[in-house]
Chain A
Amino acid sequence: MASLVIAEHDNKVLKEATAKVVTAASQLGGPVHVLVAGQGAQGVADAAAKLQGVEKVLLADDALYAKMVAETMETLILSLADKYDAILAPATTNGKNYMPRVAAKLDVAQVSEIIKVVSADTFERPIYAGNAIATVQAGAGKKVITVRTTTFKTAGEGGSASVEKIAAASDPGLSKFASEELSKSERPELTAAKIVISGGRGMQSGDNFHMLDKIADKLGAAVGASRAAVDAGFVPNDYQVGQTGKVVAPDLYIAVGISGAIQHLAGMKDSKVIAAINKDEEAPIFQVADYGLVADLFKAVPEMEEELTKLGY
């Protein structure tokens, strides 16, 4: 049972999410191939070829795939689907965008955001914002799966798969990329960071998030936010951690001024260690926090910066 993993990348760098999906795909038991669809993405394909467990990399290098637009990804993946029993992608905004189109055309159910491979056709996935875990068995036909990458290990390097160039598939001509505004940051990506510090409504303004930036810079952390903080316009949408935003599972998650709504907990409760700073000692965030500090964040956060400096960070 061969699997095809769709690589996540920005044409320059292969994202770690791909290496995690390779791990999930390996657990299905058969050979694993990786599809890199992009433009000027030879380097990405070479990186994918080094992942352990990958037997072959397919590179579709064409302007059509520069931004992985869903309609063009659909025809490309479908043109390859015959040879595979399972097709997997990370549950990134890209994977979530194109994969259901593939599943629909193959007339199979998509298994969304799996967190565990139980067997080649049985998977665990969170439902109701992670308040329940469903074990589901896929029926006959190909398996189309998106993978929640936080729960799978990163496949190691040291492989030496071949890279095969493949032709572009037809252009359905339905849509095209127009423009993008990407947040620029020197810090690690939220979903890949070892430490995440997030602010909530308690931060009161976007300017106040700079207090978290300073801590993040000292710790090499990423900065996130609750939905309330994003809705209030303090920070952009890509900061959002939660059921409908990003799911993170860093070694350390520091929640600052976040009450701990179910929807937020869904996005971070698998973190190894959770620390929370909130002035309301009844805040639900303290029920999941390993270390809770009941304090005014406007005093505690600057103090944390000072203390970290003293400690040599």
Chain B
Amino acid sequence: MKVLVPVKRVIDYNVKVRVKADQTGVDLANVKMSMNPFDEISVEEAVRLKEKGKATEVIAVSIGPQQASETIRTALAMGADRGILVKTDAEVEPLAVAKILKAICDEEKPMLVITGKQAIDDDSNQTGQMLAALLGWAQGTFAHKLELGDADAKIEREIDGGLQTVDVKLPAVMSVDLRLNEPRYASLPNIMKAKKKPIAEKTPADYGVDIAPKLKTLKVTEPPKRQAGIKVKTVAELLDKLKNEAGVI
């Protein structure tokens, strides 16, 4: 079966985010960009499925500027077979991403789409679920463990109270949580090999999707800053402060 893995190019998770002075957004100029960490887990899971003989082909898709092809190359170096870059310099909201992915699914007919549960830039946590709804497919979000059959899958999910397992019919969309696996580092030979793997270039218009945003960002501001307080010397002093100064115990 084919497995499709959407990957997003985002600000590297180690970079300190700075809000632009004109409040139009976050400063992305000359900032290190990487694959969304959750998407690395998705790619890893898909590649493992291929290594186990469950998946026949792993397709990495990214929607974004030309540089998003680097993100696809990372996925290819990890073991994905080919890529699709849907090129646009505009900001694309989760719903539009889901619509483009739906059109790609209609063409490619994967049995499983593996997404990250959220991207660490807009923290929306929507795309996988929206894609599943648009396709009329089942979903297993926040996946912790996957047992893949031929016509169905058992997905263990991280939920507020602990873990929950759902049985889903295939084709399905799975969104991954942190502890599904530990993504590999691409080896140098695989990075070299990845350069020869094909990446098809498309545009949102090729899929007939209008990517005009439905939400208007009026402004982006800094959150209120928390000031460092005082250092106490002893446990007894700490408890005294908590009890008598802060009044919280």
Could you tell me which A residues sit within 8 Å of B by CB distance? 10, 67, 69-71, 74, 92-94, 96-105, 107-113, 122, 126-139, 141, 172-183, 191, 195, 219, 227, 230-231, 236-238, 243-244, 246, 251-252, 262-263, 269, 272-275, 277, 281, 286-295, 300, 303-304, 307-308, 311, 313
> Given that A131-B223, A252-B248, A288-B228 are contacting pairs, would A100 and B130 also be in contact in the complex, using a CB cutoff of 8 Å?
yes
- In the complex, whether B45 has a CB less than 8 A from a CB of chain A is no
Residues of B within 8 A of A (CB): 11, 13, 16-17, 19, 26, 38, 93-95, 98, 117-118, 120-134, 136-142, 144, 154, 157-169, 172, 177-179, 213-223, 226, 228-236, 238-239, 241-243, 246, 248-249
User: Closest chain B residue to A300 by CB distance?
Assistant: B235
State whether A238 touches B125 (Cβ < 8 A): no
Query: Are A139 and B123 in contact (CB-based, < 8 A)?
Result: no
- Interface SS of chain A: mixed
**Shortest Cβ distance from residue A61 to the other chain B in the assembled complex, whole angstroms:** 21
Instruction: Give Cα distance in the complex from A76 to B84, angstroms.
Output: 35
A residues near B158, Cβ cutoff 8 Å = 93, 237-238
What are 24 residue pairs bridging A and B, where the CB atoms are less than 8 Å apart in the complex?
Answer: A67-B164, A93-B142, A93-B158, A94-B159, A97-B142, A98-B129, A100-B94, A104-B130, A127-B122, A131-B16, A134-B217, A134-B219, A134-B220, A136-B217, A176-B166, A237-B162, A237-B177, A252-B242, A290-B230, A291-B241, A293-B238, A307-B239, A311-B243, A313-B249
A139-B216, A195-B248, A236-B162 in contact; A292/B123 too (CB < 8 A)? no
With A133-B220, A176-B166, A178-B165 as contacts: A70 and B232 at CB distance below 8 Å: no
Q: Considering the chains assembled together, what is the distance between the CA atoms of A243 and B118 in angstroms?
A: 10
The verdict on A131 contacting B154 (CB below 8 Å), with A138-B215, A180-B165 known, is no
Residue in chain A with minimal CB distance to B221: A133
Residue of B118, B133, B140, B228 contacting most chain A CB atoms (<10 Å): B133
Q: Which of A104, A180, A273 contacts B242 (CB 8 A)?
A: A273
CB distance from A167 to the nearest CB of B (A): 22
Known interface pairs A103-B130, A132-B223. Does A243 touch B120 (Cβ–Cβ under 8 Å)?
yes
| A308 and B239 form a contact (CB under 8 A) | yes
- Whether A175 pairs with B140 at a CB distance below 8 angstroms is yes
- Residues A291 and B238 in contact in the complex (CB < 8 Å), given A96-B125, A132-B223, A178-B165: yes
Known contacts A287-B228, A292-B231: does B223 contact A130 (CB below 8 Å)?
A: yes
Q: Which of A101, A113, A272 contacts B132 (CB 8 A)?
A: A101
Q: How far is the CA of A111 from the CA of B125 in the complex (A)?
A: 10
A127 engages B220 (CB within 8 Å)? yes
In the bound complex, CA of A129 to CA of B142 (Å)? 18
With contacts A135-B217, A195-B249, A291-B229 known, what are 10 further pairs, Cβ within 8 A?
A105-B133, A112-B125, A127-B122, A131-B223, A132-B221, A135-B221, A139-B215, A244-B38, A244-B177, A291-B230
Q: Is the CB of A139 within 8 A of B214?
A: yes
Contact B123 A126 (CB under 8 A): yes
Asked whether A180 lies within 8 Å of B162 as measured between CB atoms, the reply is yes
Q: How far is the CB of A87 from chain B (nearest CB, A)?
A: 14
A174 to chain B, nearest CB (A): 4
Complex CA distance for A36 and B171, rounded to whole angstroms: 30
**Contact (Cβ within 8 A) A128 B17:** yes
The interface residues of chain A lying within 8 Å CB-to-CB of B220 are 127, 132-135
Tell me, in angstroms, the Cα distance from A180 to B38 when the chains sit together.
Answer: 23
- A104 contacts which of B17, B95, B159 (Cβ < 8 Å)? B95
Contact of A122 among B137, B154, B218 (CB under 8 A): B218
State how many angstroms separate the Cβ of B193 from the closest Cβ of chain A: 30
* Interface-centre pick from A173, A195, A227, A262 (highest chain B CB count, 10 A): A262
List the A residue with the shortest CB-CB distance to B222.
A132
Residues of B near A179 (CB, < 8 A) are: 164-165
Name which residue of chain B comes closest to A108, CB basis. B214
Q: Which residues of B contact A311 (CB under 8 A)?
A: 239, 243
- For B231, list chain A residues within 8 Å (CB): 281, 286, 291-294
Given A176-B167, A178-B154, A244-B178, A112 and B26 contact (CB-CB distance below 8 Å): no
Is B161's CB under 8 angstroms from A182's CB?
yes
Considering residues B13, B128, B131, which has the most beta carbons from chain A within 10 angstroms of its beta carbon? B13
Report the minimal beta-carbon distance from B233 to chain A, rounded to whole angstroms. 8
Give Cα A294 to B235, complex, Å.
10
